[in-house]
Structure formats: C-alpha cells, structure tokens
C-alpha cells in the first residue's frame, strides 16, 4: 500500500462518522483532499451536508466536486471537523500548518463539537518537533517577532533555525495575508508551555500546535486503518 492508498483508507474510515445533515469542517492538505473526493461521491448519492472549508484551496476543490459550502459566519457552530496533521503524538497533540492554513484550521476545529484527525502512520511520533513548527506572524514587525520567538525558544531550551516560508514568487502568504516562520526545533518536549508562551508574543497570529483539540485520530498503515485514542 503506497502513501496515497493509506491516506484514502484513513479518509474512508473518517467518512463513516459523517451523518446526514451534518455541519462539517473540512480540512486542508493531501489527506483532507482524499476525504473531500470521497465525501463528494456521497453527496452526489444523496448525503446532505454543509461544509466549512479551512482554506481557499479546499474551497475550490469542494466547489469543483459539488460539496455544498457555507462560511463560518453562516455556520458558527459545527458538528464535526475532519482534517489531517503533519505530526500526532500519543496524547493526540498535533503539529499542523504544513499547507499554510493553520489559523483557519484552528478556528474551524475550535468551532466544532468534535475533531477527527486523519493521517498515515508516518505522521505518528513519540515527541513533536521533527516536522518544522509553523508560526503564523503579522508582516508588520517581522524582525521584532522573530527575535521574540528566538528568545522564547532559548528560555524553553529549544534551538533551531527560524526560516521564513517561501513560495515561487517570494514570501509565502497565507489566506489571511500573514507570513509563516517555520521553526526547526527538532524536539518539543513541552508543547503546552511553548503553545501558551507563543500566544503571548504580539506579532504571533497563531501557531501550529493543536493541543486538546482532537477527539481521536484515524491512522492508516499497510494493514489498514486504526483508531488512535489519547493515552
């Protein structure tokens, strides 16, 4: 089973939790896109859902495939969000934001009664941090914000480069018009402390640590999909 087949397996298992009439948060990324394709097949067969996308990219795919969409202002409370992750540990702490949609992903997940994470087994880690942590920042005062993050990292015993994310035509810009600093910490032993203190830096808009948000994860491997609960 290759990587895409595992993503499809996880998406298929998550789709079993979608019920007729649900208000559904729809994630961003390659695994979430497999879910959208499967969801669209169900919608064409009569399943009624209203989706809130977490990115413009997801919105375009949903519209292309016929998945009905609403804004979060129209549906401020959701039944379920299904989204991928760049890392997930045994306590269901996540690193997200590899696709650059972390702010909207976190807002949508927070508006949902439940969040199901879908991923292949390569995303399961003992300690978060191998995947660079995305930190969404305001363009104004970028140098000041970078210095503050560096000082915080040193205080918490973290080290590693902070790199401004690039795109083909310059700095990567999120759907909200912000920039992303990717923090190459390697290991984040105390994700809760880092998450709390990043939130106290004025130039930080949001970060990719999702803590106490996932209800459970569906992890796909060569043997199929399994449900992962927090330890």
Q: pLDDT tens, 153-197?
A: 999 999 999 999 999 989 999 999 999 999 999 999 999 999 999
pLDDT in tens, 6-64: 999 999 999 999 999 999 999 999 999 999 999 999 999 999 999 999 999 999 999 99
Query: Rg of the Cα trace of the chain?
Result: 17
For the chain, give the percent of residues with pLDDT over 70.
100
DSSP SS3 for 60: helix
Residue 116 has pLDDT above 90, yes or no: yes
DSSP SS3 for 10: helix
pLDDT in tens, 118-158: 999 999 999 999 999 999 999 999 999 999 999 999 999 99
Is 56 labeled as catalytic in the residue annotation? Answer: no
- DSSP states of 17-55: T--TTEEEEE--SHHHHHHHHHHHHHHHTT--EEEEESS
Write down the pLDDT at residue 29.
95
Categorize the per-residue pLDDT at 82 as very low, low, confident or very high, splitting at 50, 70 and 90: very high
Write down the pLDDT at residue 1.
74
Give the helix ranges, DSSP H, for the chain.
3-15, 30-44, 56-65, 102-110, 142-155, 191-198
Taking CA 29 as the corner, what is the angle to CA 74 and CA 218, rounded to the nearest 5 degrees? Answer: 90
With tokens 């990567």, the residue in question is 172
Catalytic residue among 87, 105, 136, 206: 105
With tokens 């789709």, the residue in question is 15
Write down the pLDDT at residue 231.
84
Mean pLDDT within 86-94: 98
């Amino acid at each position: 089973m290759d990587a895409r087949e595992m993503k499809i397996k996880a998406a298929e298992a998550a789709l079993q939790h979608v019920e007729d009439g649900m208000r559904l948060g729809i994630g961003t990324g390659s695994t979430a896109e497999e879910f959208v394709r499967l969801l669209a097949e169900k919608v064409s067969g009569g399943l009624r859902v209203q989706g809130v996308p977490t990115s413009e990219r997801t919105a375009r795919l949903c519209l292309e495939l016929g998945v009905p969409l609403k804004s979060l202002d129209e549906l401020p409370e959701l039944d379920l969000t299904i989204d991928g992750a760049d890392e997930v540990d045994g306590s269901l702490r996540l690193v997200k934001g590899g696709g650059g949609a972390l702010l909207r992903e976190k807002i949508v997940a927070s508006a949902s009664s439940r969040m199901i994470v879908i991923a292949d087994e390569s995303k399961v880690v003992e300690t978060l941090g191998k995947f660079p942590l995305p930190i969404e920042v305001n363009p104004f005062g970028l140098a000041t914000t970078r210095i503050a993050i560096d000082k915080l990292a040193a205080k918490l015993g973290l080290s590693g480069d902070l790199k401004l994310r690039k795109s083909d035509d310059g700095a990567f810009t999120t759907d909200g018009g912000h920039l992303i600093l990717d923090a190459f910490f390697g290991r984040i032993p105390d994700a809760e402390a880092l998450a709390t203190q990043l939130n106290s830096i004025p130039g930080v808009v949001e970060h990719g640590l999702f803590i106490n948000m996932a209800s459970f994860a569906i992890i796909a491997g060569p043997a199929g999909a399994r449900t992962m609960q927090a330890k």
